[in-house]
Structure 1
């Protein structure tokens, strides 16, 4: 009888660890170590919970509790993304998705980070590294634990800056159309940090089109215009042959850029 007592105690401790871990969407082995008291016990507890199907390993040192109803981890793609490194946050099209502005939900999550990591796939979603260019404009989600993302203004600037690599131009316009307010002070701050004439051109030209919906002033548009220099650039590099010259912005712009057909496709 006495021999069974330690086993019972161990099972109770297992349940307590699982109950504590279930409070967090994602956790590391260090978090388990804090609950068990030592590393060896932490690893054995994790092995046991994984074998029982109560916990899944997402990637090295990132774990999540399993929802028994669905058999899937409780962590969302955004919580997983923000656990990849200590400086990770969602950005670009993934931030638009989080804000409910994306026309399409991608099977890719764009993760900006100061610490580089290798792209990886989990549950048919690819987590892609993007080098973090600044610390400004990263905010904590209000209603979701463990999610950090770029604020709306920085998401707009980043997405216009990088649409050739991330998201594509058509989807960018779809996202911009749903925005009803942007803070000009924040926009100016992010533009000044990047400080490139081509970005002032692209941001100024596109936001000039949406200025009424986004409640942007003529002063802001003029501010962008004052920073563009005299170099002629292409708005969309893939559409050079279909582009015409816009002398106001010194920009080569695709024909029929903002004409949308009923199916939602851009007529370019």
Structure 2
């Protein structure tokens, strides 16, 4: 098909991109309409399209590429950043991504795309496939900050159990940016729990502890929940089922 190689090079493209390639607006509209009907391309959302591998009827771009190419400021975040790096336990039919330009949530090829407004531009890395994603360290703090966007506290624990030797300076940089006492409390408790495999020093934990608040908070909720135990060091109320899992250890393959 004429122009097929050009749209493959674009990956994700708009009607305006097609017009720039073909030069003639009427011919471009005809090409777009014909290609959609024949299944050479598919519409992702309003005025965004992707080329299709005709052999298996799947997009040439994966869900992470699609999310990050909708706007140049976009990057993969929260539980999707864990999943992108292979640190997930659950597989979600959802991509969470952030950026500056708000995009309404939509679904494409049975995957839900959920946009979260960017609050921070720190530690956004570009990988070999062109996908932009938050660093491991920032992802960790983001997930602790917004546990619902991380897939829940159990998902965070399983992910953190698989991470080794992180950059402490990057952790502190992110914590300082958000500058929330509750976040310091939750992060301190969780990071101390996994300090050995994460490579967290006592000096880093001491700094985090110096920033915590005097009011207690709940590990996995902004509201009061039942069946918790207060960790007095961090002023964090921890769900008892989490303590039970931790007490069993990795021999039972809980994480």
**TM-score normalised per structure 1:** 0.87
Asked if residue 180 in structure 1 is aligned to residue 164 in structure 2, the reply is yes
Aligned to 1:264: 254
What SS does the aligned partner of 1:64 have?
strand
Asked if residue 228 in structure 1 is aligned to residue 215 in structure 2, the reply is no
Q: How does 1:117-196 map to 2 (within 5 A)?
A: 117-142=103-128, 144-145=129-130, 147-196=131-180
Asked if residue 45 in structure 1 is aligned to residue 31 in structure 2, the reply is yes
Asked if residue 55 in structure 1 is aligned to residue 41 in structure 2, the reply is yes
Which among 199, 203, 206 is matched to residue 183 of structure 2? 199
What SS does the aligned partner of 1:252 have?
strand
Which among 180, 200, 220 is matched to residue 216 of structure 1? 200
Aligned length: 249
Runs of 4+ in 1 over 3 A off after TM superposition: 258-265
Asked if residue 97 in structure 1 is aligned to residue 83 in structure 2, the reply is yes
Asked if residue 78 in structure 1 is aligned to residue 64 in structure 2, the reply is yes
Larger radius of gyration: 1
Residue 160 of structure 1: CA displacement?
A: 0.6
Q: Which 5+ residue runs of structure 1 have no aligned equivalent?
A: 1-13
Taking a change above 3 Å as real, the CA distance of residues 164 and 71 of structure 1, as seen in their structure-2 partners, is closer
Residue 258 of structure 1: CA displacement?
A: 4.7
Q: Separation in 2 of the partners of 1:230 and 1:192?
A: 18
Structure 1 residues 122-131 or 25-34, which shifts more? Answer: 25-34
Q: Separation in 2 of the partners of 1:181 and 1:239?
A: 33
Contact 2:152 2:220 in 1 (8 A): no
What SS does the aligned partner of 2:96 have?
strand
Contact 1:239 1:254 in 2 (8 A): no
Aligned to 2:236: 251
Deviations 1:137-181 (A, max 9, x none): 111122x13x11111111101001001354111111111111012
Which among 199, 218, 226 is matched to residue 241 of structure 1? 226
Residue 52 of structure 1: CA displacement?
A: 2.0
What SS does the aligned partner of 1:149 have?
strand
Contact 1:119 1:129 in 2 (8 A): yes
Q: Which 5+ residue runs of structure 2 have no aligned equivalent?
A: none
**TM-score normalised per structure 2:** 0.91
Deviations 1:106-164 (A, max 9, x none): 0111111211111111111110111110111111122x13x111111111010010013
